Structure 1
Amino acid sequence: MLVTDNTYKSEADGRIPAPVEPPAPVEGIPAPTEPPAPALWNRNFRLFFVARAVAVFGEGMVPVAFAAGLIGAGHSGSTVGYALGLWTASFAVFVLFGGVLADRFTARRMMILADLLRLPGAVLLGVTFALGSPPLWAVYVLSAVSGIGAALFQPGVASTIPRIAPDVQRANAVLRVVEALMTMAGPAAAGLLVALWNAGAAFGVNGAAFAVSALCFTLMRLAPVPSDGIRRGSMASELALGWREFRARSWLWGVISIWTVYGLTVAGPMVPLTASLVTEQHGSATYGVLMAVNGAGSAVGGLLALRLRPVRPLAAGAVALLGLPVNLLLLGTDAAVPLLYAGQFTGGAAFAFWLVMWSTAVQTHVPQDALNRMHAYDVAGSLLMMGVGRTLSGPVAAVVGAEQVLLAGAGIAVLVVTALLVVRPIRTLPRA
């Protein structure tokens, strides 16, 4: 938990004290040199880094594995959507409970439990797809269970980073870079495994990723989070307390409120409409390259966040988001393929930079004992509206045209940036 003088608690809490301003120089006496910044790559962060890298790599293989396995078994393409949709629905429903449970039983334990919950399902899918094809009901059930596991896992990510990293922004930036690279590598590796063997091999690697992640979290050594005498109540009371903590921070609920509009009208429709437009006009190979270019842009955005340390992180992140409407404008005007590549790169970099600024602001301004629940409300709100936007994008595009939906999204994205900069608590939130 942060204290008011902007220094951290003792190292027993897993945090490292913030540097103290050196005394003013005295004439004739050399000014003391500033101590070196504490190293980011401590043992706990190295284990966390490996866990996140392998997990994102494994998760990136799942859509390709489902598509290859189900369609290859003679099922329609809609079954792939149902399987992935059940994952998303389970995640959205249970993530708030995951935040409460992480506060109650510690984030590390819940993340280990989540990995172990998802491991058998991935192995079972790998075996059954390797032998032939599992029944659809089993695929749907295992996909939903995996979504529940992700919901138990995700809230703990936000509260763990400040406990293991002396520099939270730098840690988020490093993680964003490796996640972007693994997001590109996962689908590519899954495609190769499916071509050489079958979909079962991809699910097997996904299961191995959960095992490595659980092992890394087991090896981490974190001091207990002080409870400050907090008495835990029922699940409902804990959810209500989390909601009160959420509402008490105007900058936090202000961003989430604005972001729900963005998810519904911009981020949600952007993915399926981009896929359909580019595939129809330029082919699936071009779409695959576009996604790889977007991932490269995300990595560059993370690298920029390593170098730049704005005094007002949310304001700087909002300005960076202006790269997203550029991408939407190019897509909506049927620009040439090289321009589409430039737009995807710009959009990926912009979004990655915003995510680092946003994650760092939440992790450094929200008390540690409330962080899991705060992150759960953040994820639930964003994901639900994005899911609604994806669902409605097809019917709306059928009426007015996909290009018009993307162009409208570009205009709304500019309005979203304007709103983020106009709201004073968001614009003026300082770097902690």
Structure 2
Amino acid sequence: MRPRESLGALGDRRFAWYFTARTVSTAGSVMVPVALAFAVLHIDQSAGALAQVLGVRTLTMVVFLLVGGVVADRFSRIVVLQVSHVLTGVTQALAAGLIISGHATLTQLTVIEGVNGAVSAFTMPAMMGVVPLVVDRRRLQQANALLSFSRSGLAIVGPAVAGLLVVGVGPGWALAVDALTYAVAIVCLARVGLPRRQEGAEARHSMVAELREGWTEFTSREWLWVVVLVFGVMNAIHVGVVGVLGPLIASSTEAIGEAGWGLVLSAEALGTVLMTLVMLRLRLAHPLRAGMLAMGVLAVPMVLLGAAPALVPVAVGFLLAGAAVEVFGVGWSTALHEHIPVAVLSRVSSYDALGSFVAMPIGTFLYGWLATSVDIETLVLVSAAVYVLVALSALASRSVRDLGRSVEDPAVDPAVDPAGEAAAGSAGAESTARP
């Protein structure tokens, strides 16, 4: 495939504007993990404090995910994203003001991040449901790779810049930039131009009925629920080791430090970008087989973080991890877009997110407690070993190993507008043939 053909998805005006909106909002968001982590640690230098803020954010997201999936399938996904961006921009601006002014407290940041978590429960299902509506089906993997390339390319610079801002002027300014980017993204989303939903195409069903339909679609595919199940465990380990213990180890190790941790996360993003260039041109015949094998590589930076907490080795480990995450991420998104009907895609993705993230608050709080009672090096190394075993266990399912690429469109709901946007009340759509 020629380089120009690799960018072909951007030839669609709707995808180009959506791509721009995602890129702009991501430019600020990639700085938030570093800025928020050290903002909390400046208030309370403990793993428990960081676990509290991150855990509450994840918990509120999990609580509202299923509602977010129904809302994204029932209403315009672009409008859902715009409203979510308004709320996120306001809360991030509030957090930035409190931190910059020196008045932020642990309770305030916990509440603000709790609100942000709830809002993200509506954002993620909506984003998953937009892509098949704004790009030709033949270019789905390409479109997903381009979005990942944008996100990862910015993530190379973002954490490093955030680390420098934390050291130079304080973490609040990174959050202020994030708030501003959401305002710009809202304008870009307005240019996507999805058609209006057809009025009266189908009577709306109750939220319970729509959730039941999404659950049926989710449970009827073994490859889907198996991967989500193992990711529930993997994410709990990852958020505990990288999200809680990582900043703690970095801030207490002169060889890494706060700015160094930003560089480490940038190295992870660099690995993702490099692999994205491959994914733009390489067609995954068995996306989940390749993805789950790749996910085992994430144990490498965990081992290095526990055994050799020095900047260069840890950064190299995260570089490899970033490449591995990209293989899975593009493969997983493409599998969902090719095998799940568009009319229920947001609801199915909300069950996906719920299963994948539900254990993250548990992992966050658990590792915050374990860090005070268990040797951290031992904890990290044992976690890495368990992570590899769990990742590879998914391949015991033949459905995961052998899932191929779809040659036919997922079943199209009769209430879907020919130009792409599902009409209100899509419950009852016929499901696609099982892989």
Q: TM-score range by the shorter chain?
A: 0.7 to 0.9
- Alpha-carbon separation, structure 2, partners of 1:131 and 1:262: 38
Q: Tell me the residue number matched to 1:383.
A: 357
Q: What corresponds to 1:364 in structure 2?
A: 338
Find the counterpart in structure 2 of residue 39 from structure 1.
Answer: 8
Equivalent of 1:58, from 14, 28, 39?
A: 28
Unaligned stretches of 5+ residues in structure 2: 407-435
Q: How does 1:147-226 map to 2 (within 5 A)?
A: 147-166=117-136, 167-193=139-165, 200-223=172-195
Q: 2:276 aligns with which of 282, 302, 316?
A: 302
Partner of 1:3: none
What letter matches 2:214 in structure 1?
G
Comparing 189-198 with 374-383, greater Cα deviation is found at 189-198
**What is the CA distance between 1:99 and its match in structure 2?**
0.6
Question: Do the aligned partners of 2:6 and 2:281 also contact (CA within 8 Å) in 1?
Answer: no
Match of residue 405 from structure 1 = 379
Corresponding position: 1:276 with 2:248: yes
C-alpha distance 165-266 of structure 1, shift in aligned 2 (>3 A): same
Whether the 8 Å contact between 1:45 and 1:164 is mirrored in structure 2 is yes
Which residue identity lines up with residue 169 of structure 1 in the other structure? Q
Q: Equivalents in 2 of 1:408, 1:80: separation in Å?
A: 22
> In the TM superposition, what are the counterparts of 1:22-421 in structure 2 within 5 Å?
39-41=8-10, 42-66=12-36, 81-133=51-103, 138-166=108-136, 167-193=139-165, 200-223=172-195, 230-266=202-238, 268-281=240-253, 282-284=255-257, 285-334=259-308, 338-421=312-395
After TM superposition, give the deviation of residue 178 of structure 1 in Å: 1.6
Name the aligned partner's letter for residue 274 of structure 1: G
Cα distance between partner residues in 1 of 2:183 and 2:127:
17
Percent identity between the aligned chains?
Answer: 32
Gaps of 5+ in 1: 1-35
Where does residue 428 of structure 2 map in the other structure? Answer: none
- SS of alignment partner, residue 358 of structure 2: helix
**CA distance in 1 between partners of 2:336 and 2:109 (Å):** 36
Residues in 1 aligned to 2:347 and 2:44: alpha-carbon distance in whole angstroms: 39
**8 Å contact from structure 1 (residues 47, 217) kept in 2:** yes
Question: Is the Cα contact below 8 Å between 1:325 and 1:414 reproduced in 2?
Answer: yes
Counterpart Cα distance in 2 of 1:302 and 1:375 = 22
Task: Check the 8 A contact 2:84/2:119 in 1, yes or no.
Answer: yes
Q: 1-side partners of 2:369 and 2:105: how far apart?
A: 30
One-letter amino acid of the structure 2 residue matched with residue 395 of structure 1? W
Change (3 A) 1:185 1:227: farther
1:110/1:336 CA distance change after superposition, 3 Å: closer
Query: Which range moved further: 43-52 or 135-144?
Result: 135-144
Shift of 1:407: 2.8
Query: In terms of mean alpha carbon deviation, does 234-243 or 259-268 score higher?
Result: 259-268
1:25-47 residue CA offsets vs partner (Å, 9 max, x unmatched): xxxxxxxxxxx899311212221
Matching residue's letter, 2:28: G
For residue 324 of structure 1, report the CA deviation from its aligned partner.
2.1
* CA shift digits 1:341-362 (9 cap, x unpaired): 3222111111121111111111
Q: Which amino acid aligns with 1:204?
A: A
Which residue in the other structure is 1:25 paired with? Answer: none
Give, in angstroms, the shift of residue 383 of structure 1: 1.6
Change in CA separation of 1:360 and 1:403 when aligned onto 2, cut-off 3 Å: same
Q: Which structure has more RCO (C-alpha within 8 Å, separation ≥ 6)?
A: 2
CA contact (8 A) 2:62 2:358 kept: yes
Q: TM-score, normalised by structure 2?
A: 0.80
How far off is 1:156 after superposition?
A: 0.9
Tell me which amino acid in the other structure corresponds to 1:306: L
Compare CA radii of gyration and give the structure with the larger one: 1
Residue identity matched to 1:158: M
Q: Secondary structure at the match of 1:307?
A: coil
Moved more, 359-368 or 418-427: 418-427
How high is the TM-score relative to the length of structure 1?
Answer: 0.81
Listed one character per residue, the Cα deviations across residues 10-34 of structure 1 (whole Å, up to 9, x for unaligned) are xxxxxxxxxxxxxxxxxxxxxxxxx
Counterparts of 2:199 and 2:395, CA distance in 1: 36
Displacement, 1:425? 0.9
| Pairwise CA distance, 1:84 | 3.9
Change (3 A) 1:314 1:67: closer
Displacement after TM superposition at 1:384 (Å): 2.0
